[in-house]
Amino acid sequence: MTAVETIPFVDLATQYRSIQSDIDAAMAAVLSRGDFILGQDVRLFEQEFAAYCGTSHCLGVASGTDALRLALQACGIGRGDEVITTAHTFIATTLAIMEAGATPVLVDCDPEYGLIDVTKIAAAITPRTKAILPVHLYGQPADMDPILEIARAHSLAVIEDACQAHGAFYKGRRCGSLGDIAAFSFYPGKNLGAYGDGGAVTTGRADLADKVTLLRNYGQRVKYEHLEKGGNSRLDTIQAAILRVKLRHLDAWNAARQRAAAAYNRALADLSVGLPHVVPWGTHVFHLYVVRTNDRAGLQQRLDAAKSQHGIHYPIPVHRQKAMAELGYAEGAFPVAEALAPSILSLPMFPELSDAQIARVAAAIAGT
Ligand SMILES: *Cc1c(COP(=O)(O)O)cnc(C)c1O
């Protein structure tokens, strides 16, 4: 009997093999040209990704966290300002707000999708509020129309955290084109992932694009002429070359994730786990396939025994993290997010996930 192979949570090696000759050639071309910093592939990727998102500007930056911070700074947000976001997100969302010098003001998520509860936003607005920062969590869009309406009424910026939603649609428009400005991460495991760190800001506003252009590159438009105190946060040319190759596959890969999610839904339908609900206002690109259970430890044990990896996104809500203690939120502040944290479980999800792998995960969950 041959040993059973582990089902990985994401499988970047299999994906690399499927595009290896294109990736290798794209990387070799950068090495031959030697344009490592803001080279031609960065410029071309920015054009291609802006077009893909249906917006006019894209700026490649060093990470998703930097993309969020630079988007905030471009909107003029800093010390003394408040930014409203969700308690159910990756901590980078609130860390970026604090890096910009502002204060995150959290609101709870809705129980059905785990996205920012738009009915709770208005009550969180104070005279210091400068922006609303919805997170398109797990691969599906927050309900942007009511968010944009509240923002308009109070003259607030809307900054999308699209780090998990490359290619997802909201009412026919792509995430990243819905607010004033948006942030993407190209962390390797994201739906569009580099082979290292990377990120991008997208925006339809030329003034914000110009600001990010300066902020990511020492405040200079022309070398050694520093118009303001920018930093160094640029997308590597090699990563941009890789992303250009992978962008051509993104829609097919997202469709493969949706097929895998549908297969999971069928395989798990009669079991006692809660399946992910898809929003009626958009598409879900399944960055993560997250089920709910009241026996998470048991499920984890059975998946371990079946040699399937799994994850939790996220085990501790943002406001209960030690690093966020200064925000002063008590236990019970966001009951929906707090109820989700102990009951969610992320199953393996990547475009190349096979029917056999899905069947093995489902059998493990069923305990058969
Ligand atoms: C990945 C992620 C980020 C941060 O991106 P990095 O590239 O890792 O800095 C921010 N927000 C969300 C929701 C993410 O999933």
Contact in structure between 251 and 79 (CB atoms under 8 Å): no
Secondary structure (3-state) at 123? helix
Secondary structure (3-state) at 327? helix
User: What pLDDT does 368 receive?
Assistant: 79
The region, left, alpha or beta by phi > 0 then psi within -120 to 50, assigned to residue 248 is alpha
User: What pLDDT does 4 receive?
Assistant: 87
| CB-ligand 1 contact for 93 (6 Å cutoff) | yes
Q: Write out pLDDT tens, residues 307-353.
A: 999 999 999 999 999 999 999 999 999 999 999 999 999 999 999 99
Nearest CA to ligand 1 atom 14: 163
Tokens of 127: 């005279």
Question: Rounded CA gap, 218 and 230, in Å?
Answer: 4
Nearest CA to ligand 1 atom 7: 64
The preferred substitution site among 97, 164, 184, 314 for testing ligand 1, maximizing ligand atoms within 8 Å of CB, is: 164
Contact in structure between 272 and 330 (CB atoms under 8 Å): no
- Distance set, CA 194 to CA 44, 99, 216, 244, 366 (Å): 15, 24, 19, 10, 35
Q: Write out pLDDT tens, residues 246-260.
A: 999 999 999 999 999
* 106 DSSP β-pair partners: 85
User: What pLDDT does 2 receive?
Assistant: 66
Considering Cα of 233, then 65, then 321, then 132, what sign does the dihedral take? positive
The preferred substitution site among 163, 192, 235, 286 for testing ligand 1, maximizing ligand atoms within 8 Å of CB, is: 163
- For the chain, which residues score pLDDT lower than 70? 1-2
Compute φ and ψ for 128, nearest 5 degrees.
-90, -10
The preferred substitution site among 175, 185, 191 for testing ligand 1, maximizing ligand atoms within 8 Å of CB, is: 185
How many Å lie between the centroid of ligand 1 and the Cα of residue 32?
A: 31
- Long-range CB pairs of 50-54 (<8 Å, 24+ gap) are 50/202, 52/167, 52/174, 52/247, 52/250, 53/174, 53/175, 53/176, 53/177, 53/182, 53/202, 54/173, 54/174, 54/176, 54/177
| CB-ligand 1 contact for 55 (6 Å cutoff) | no
pTM of the model: 0.98
Compute φ and ψ for 236, nearest 5 degrees.
-60, 145
How many Å lie between the centroid of ligand 1 and the Cα of residue 68?
A: 9
| CB-ligand 1 contact for 202 (6 Å cutoff) | no
Provide the 10 A C-beta neighbour count for residue 37. 11
Question: Rounded CA gap, 346 and 326, in Å?
Answer: 29
Place of tokens 């430890």: 297
How many Å lie between the centroid of ligand 1 and the Cα of residue 131?
A: 19
| CB-ligand 1 contact for 182 (6 Å cutoff) | no
Provide the 10 A C-beta neighbour count for residue 80. 10
Portion of the chain with pLDDT greater than 90, in percent: 98
User: What pLDDT does 1 receive?
Assistant: 53
| CB-ligand 1 contact for 340 (6 Å cutoff) | no
Atom of ligand 1 nearest to the CA of 135: 13
Atom of ligand 1 nearest to the CA of 89: 13
20-33 helix and 237-247 helix, angle to the nearest 10 degrees? 150
Q: Interior CA angle at 164 toward 280 and 151, to 5°? A: 65
Nearest CA to ligand 1 atom 5: 64
Q: Write out pLDDT tens, residues 127-165.
A: 999 999 999 999 999 999 999 999 999 999 999 999 999
Tokens of 163: 């780090």
Contact in structure between 194 and 172 (CB atoms under 8 Å): no
How many Å lie between the centroid of ligand 1 and the Cα of residue 300?
A: 25
Contact in structure between 151 and 132 (CB atoms under 8 Å): yes
